Structure 1
């Protein structure tokens, strides 16, 4: 039995992943934007251990969220599911890019990290020079490229962690819209599989998955120099350094 924390699990793919994991006998802690949504999430996800609330569009609240999560003890896996699509550029950047960075840095290191990206990251650009000067230029596609860059940086620096990114597909959630053409169940199966499976195909790191299959990601994400600039820019914006050393020693399982 594993213990998993899932950001953005009050609805959508995060909620579906939570229900699937609980049905398999795992322990799940939910995250919601505020306390009211958190109470609703506990009703919809029967059997969840608890819920923690924080608005990821606030750097301060995201830092406080990490503290709340750490107070609950160690997790075997963290699924960075939360994300925005239709929102102003600054909010997109804070929720989609900075929040996963902050939580990766501050939450006690799990054995497995899963980052939700998108096929739209293929058209993204890192735009690292815009982090401080022109956030308005950053698009959803760019932020989803940042997520993959973060995942691959984690893979390089934390050899004892399985860190992978996922394209869930264009599925009919609130974000994807009712007319989305892809299978909803396949939209959450891969992150569930990566979080708990003993399948050797899931016990890898630095990979990009679509429907439980490794696929090629935007080559810009593999550029180690860009990854380092990305980490430096995030540090300067948040005041939080990426820890090269383990917060606590762990072993891959």
Structure 2
């Protein structure tokens, strides 16, 4: 029996009327903290099931604006770097009946398409600036390290892997300054590159290559509290960091 007064039914009915059918947005929000690359995930109400932040595209907005809106709602950030990286349009992306059963939503009677194509965006954000926020359907939003991500709903583990591959492929052209605080040391920057690429880098060669790009400015201050000689702090030049 359909409960037409159930909040979730009302929500999906509104989505059905106001949004574009067949299309959705899935966002992979990358942050860097304690030398680890992390992803922001949502836990669905009343379950132990996790997924990526996502949402639908209003009939009155563009795809890019929809992605900006969805990621802003989860992070609290007004300024975002987003990159569209893939369209997930397989005929069967996941077991729909099994997935809906896991999240206990009353979808019977809702006018919605059986198949949904998802446009993937990844965001590069400064971990400390994010204020994780849940949405109507979820009750927890928090960071997960890449090596600890659980089995996710839908095809979201696959989406994260494709996003990471895209970031790795284009890391030299991405403004990774968005993943760092305003000031940082060269070893901290190297660790970020190593985490993204998934392998270690030679410190001397890394320093030569990164300084040859002329994107960094060395400050007079040094990083205090380190076990060895305090390294200098650096920051990205404005022209690079705002690309």
What TM-score results when the alignment is normalised by the length of structure 2?
0.28
More helix by share: 1
Please say which structure displays the higher CA radius of gyration.
2
More strand by share: 2
What TM-score results when the alignment is normalised by the length of structure 1?
0.28
Higher relative CO (Cα under 8 Å, sequence separation at least 6) belongs to 2
